[in-house]
Amino acid sequence: VYLVSPINSKKYTFILSFSDEDNYKKIRSEIYNNRDKIIVIAGKWESSGEYNKFTSKVYGTKQVAIIK
């Protein structure tokens, strides 16, 4: 899943990789159904090697918070 966030006119891309397909489907639906809200993903964020792109592994739904 790729997420993009505009902050002070700069764009950052956040790449999520998932531990299993069930988590992927569940979290993907949650993210897409709440695109207009603030989404917080807890994880060990690392550079993807490209400018303003970061990646993190997602192991479960407890890492995802939707701010409504």
Q: What pLDDT was estimated at residue 3?
A: 65
Model pLDDT for residues 35-63, shown as the tens digit of each residue:
888 889 999 999 999 998 999 999 999 99
Q: pTM for the full model? A: 0.76
DSSP 3-66: EEEEETTEEEEEEEEESSHHHHHHHHHHHHHTTTSEEEE-S--EE-SSTTEEEEEE-SGGGEEE
Tokens standing for residue 12 = 């950052």
Model pLDDT for residues 23-33, shown as the tens digit of each residue:
999 999 999 99
Instruction: Give the domain extent around 24.
Output: 2-67
The number of folded domains in the chain is 1
Q: What pLDDT was estimated at residue 41?
A: 92
